[in-house]
Amino acid sequence: MRIANITAILGMALVTYLTRIAGFWFAGRLGQSGSLIRRMKYVPCAVLAAIVAPLMAMGGLAEWSGIVVSMLIMILTRNFLLSLVASVLTVVLFR
Amino acid sequence: MLPVTLPVFLEGAVFGILALKTGLNSAEAFGMSALVTAGSAQYVSLSLWSNPPHAGTIIFATLMINLRYVLMGAALRPWLDRKDSDARTYAALFFVGDENWALSLNEWTNGKADVLFLFGSGVALFIAWSGGTLAGSLAGEGWIDLRKSGLDFAFIAVFTALLAGTWSTARFVFASALSAAIALLVSRWIPGNWYILAGGLSGLAFGAKDE
């Protein structure tokens, strides 16, 4: 193991843990009933949409079929496992 | 957790293989996955790795990519309503990742608010990711076809399913559409992972009008 590699890895580990605790800690400083906390309601779906949008944009017919199946099943049944398995199978079939 | 941990294990294996190609050894690849545990940041770090690596550049890129965790951590506050002195909460936060964060919020909106779910699902993903990295870096190349098995799509399907799961009212769908549009624009014009932060912050605008 080389010292430069270890330094980079340990530095990555430190800043990553800091990002994981910073938002939680900061939101606590603002108080439980702060308006920022109430505004957080739509952040989870916004983050998820932002993560997946560029991935969806790269997809072809097979991927889009899978995406539609995945979302429809989730909306209709709320069954995460069923949605995942059915959408992956859809993509494999279309390919 | 299996439908989420299996793709993560395989993703970790792919990371392990790529890390070898980049010039890391198995112990370093495994060490990074076990200590950092942040897939997208680790993949990007490999693209920046030279021999020897420029640690400052890599650490800064890691910070930028993981800024979304700040937003996600703040979103956890109403659910993990604990004292800052609670060491268990800060231990659980080490394991926050895109998947278990979303799964936990999904679980908690159904009325089961508990730090243990975040911790348990985080540990499962941690084991899958670091174990996958170790397996991949020991096994070397060419032992699975991600595309043929559809497992490359499973990474996307995890997020589309979790996203659709948040749509309890039409307003959530609108917030998602706005964020997706912003993310697409930002990802096209600004290099890096800023699009996740930009899209996520747009969710705050929706919350502001809600009051």
How many domains in chain A?
A: 2
Indicate whether A36 and A48 sit together in one domain. no
Quote the CA–CA distance of A95 and B3 in Å, as a whole number.
21
Q: Which domain holds residue A7?
A: 1-41
Q: Which residue has the higher pLDDT, A38 or B132?
A: B132
pLDDT digit string, tens, across residues B121-177: 999 999 999 999 999 999 876 655 667 777 678 778 878 988 898 898 999 999 999
Indicate whether A26 and A48 sit together in one domain. no
pLDDT digit string, tens, across residues B27-40: 999 999 999 999 87
Helix segments in B77-150, DSSP class H: 87-93, 98-109, 115-139
Indicate whether A14 and A58 sit together in one domain. no
Indicate whether A69 and A56 sit together in one domain. yes
Relative orientation angle of helices A3-29 and B55-65, to the nearest 10 degrees: 30
Q: Which domain holds residue B120?
A: 2-146
Nearest beta carbon to residue B162 from set A48, A67, A91: A48
Indicate whether A17 and A56 sit together in one domain. no
Q: What would the two tokens of residue A23 be?
A: 């938002």
Q: Which residues of B touch A54 (CB under 8 A)?
A: 183-184, 187, 195
Given the cut 0.85, state whether the ipTM is greater than it: no
Contacts of A72 (CB under 8 A, 6+ apart): B164
Q: Which residues of B touch A11 (CB under 8 A)?
A: 55, 58-59, 62
Indicate whether A27 and A59 sit together in one domain. no
Q: Which of A14, A16, A61 to mutate to test the interface with B (most CBs of B within 10 A)?
A: A16
Indicate whether A35 and A47 sit together in one domain. no
